[in-house]
């Protein structure tokens, strides 16, 4: 026992030295990434070597990057237990770089949403059409016919969402009614790099006029003989949103 005390550290001591609680250390043992260096046959107490402190820090490094812990085993020699830190750090750097790229995309999306809320707030506070430039829009569409009602719109939208999900495509932030080429569709923005699906329509970047309205007030016939090339009706999401008071944006381009 004296030899064990000199050459090994207990699970409690390992916990104090690394700042990782004993429950987590036991979990690391369970999944095979931190096996004890010695298990006392009399009381089943776990003991570790001082060199395993570095392994605990390596585990924390993986956790901080969101890497599955069982991947640590890819960098540990099964026979000697040696850890290839260089290979591990190179791999961790690749994962970190990918996460940074994902975060940059989220930052860009956040900036876009803030700008979009500023635009919709402006539309809500005025009664005249507001002109803005919009980027290319990629829509998953489902044609509808007959009298347009909210019930028809939402039932069709529900089916549209199901189609997009079944196709394994990411849905964007806007849904609504689209009039284009003389036809009426329910649409949902999608993130897709190609047009292999017949349900996908690309709308080029262009300038639109936008004005607030209500669903029941909308009628394509209100344009008379001067129907725009593209008409979009979608719910207007503003900075302070009240689901009990649904306001829509009517966006059109000639």
Residue 244 confidence (pLDDT) above 70: yes
Residue (of 120, 98, 125) closest to 249 by Cα position = 120
Q: Which residue has the higher pLDDT, 196 or 164?
A: 164
Interhelix angle 22-30/11-18, rounded to 10 degrees, is 110
CB 66 within 8 A of CB 59: no
pLDDT digits (tens, 9 = 90+) for 202-239: 999 999 999 999 999 999 999 999 999 999 999 999 99
Select the highest-mean-pLDDT range: 22-26, 62-66, 98-102, 191-195. 22-26
Domains of the chain with CATH codes: 2-83 (1.10.1660.10), 106-253 (3.20.80)
CB 174 within 8 A of CB 243: no
So what's the pLDDT on residue 86? 83
So what's the pLDDT on residue 78? 76
- Mean pLDDT for the stretch of residues 46-59: 89
CB 218 within 8 A of CB 236: no
Residue 47 confidence (pLDDT) above 70: yes
pLDDT digits (tens, 9 = 90+) for 131-176: 999 999 999 999 998 888 989 999 999 999 999 999 999 998 899 9
CB 47 within 8 A of CB 54: no
Burial classification of residue 6, based on how many CB atoms lie within 10 Å of its CB (0-12 exposed, 13-18 middle, 19 or more buried): exposed
So what's the pLDDT on residue 6? 64
Residue 3 confidence (pLDDT) above 70: no
Residue 112 confidence (pLDDT) above 80: yes
- Mean pLDDT for the stretch of residues 102-122: 93
């Amino acid at each position: 026992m004296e030899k064990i005390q000199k050459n090994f550290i207990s699970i409690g001591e390992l916990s104090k030295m690394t700042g990782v609680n004993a429950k987590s250390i036991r979990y690391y043992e369970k999944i095979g990434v931190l096996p004890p260096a010695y298990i006392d046959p009399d009381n089943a107490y776990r003991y570790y070597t001082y060199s395993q402190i570095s392994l605990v820090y390596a585990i924390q490094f993986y956790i901080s990057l969101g890497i599955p812990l069982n991947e640590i085993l890819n960098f540990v020699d099964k026979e000697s237990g040696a850890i290839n830190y260089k290979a591990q750090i190179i791999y961790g750097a690749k994962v970190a770089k990918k996460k940074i790229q994902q975060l940059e995309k989220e930052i860009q999306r956040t900036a876009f949403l803030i700008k979009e809320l500023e635009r919709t707030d402006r539309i809500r506070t005025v009664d005249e059409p507001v002109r803005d430039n919009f980027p290319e829009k990629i829509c998953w569409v489902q044609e509808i016919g007959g009298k347009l009602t909210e019930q028809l719109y939402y039932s069709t939208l529900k089916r549209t969402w199901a189609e997009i999900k079944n196709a394994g495509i990411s849905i964007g932030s806007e849904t609504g009614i689209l009039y284009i080429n003389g036809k009426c569709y329910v649409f949902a923005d999608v993130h897709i790099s190609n047009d292999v699906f017949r349900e996908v329509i690309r709308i080029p970047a262009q300038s639109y006029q936008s004005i607030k309205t209500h669903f029941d007030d909308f009628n394509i016939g209100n344009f008379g003989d001067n129907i725009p090339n593209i008409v979009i009706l979608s719910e207007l999401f503003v900075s302070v949103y009240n689901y009990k008071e649904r306001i829509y944006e009517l966006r059109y381009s000639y």
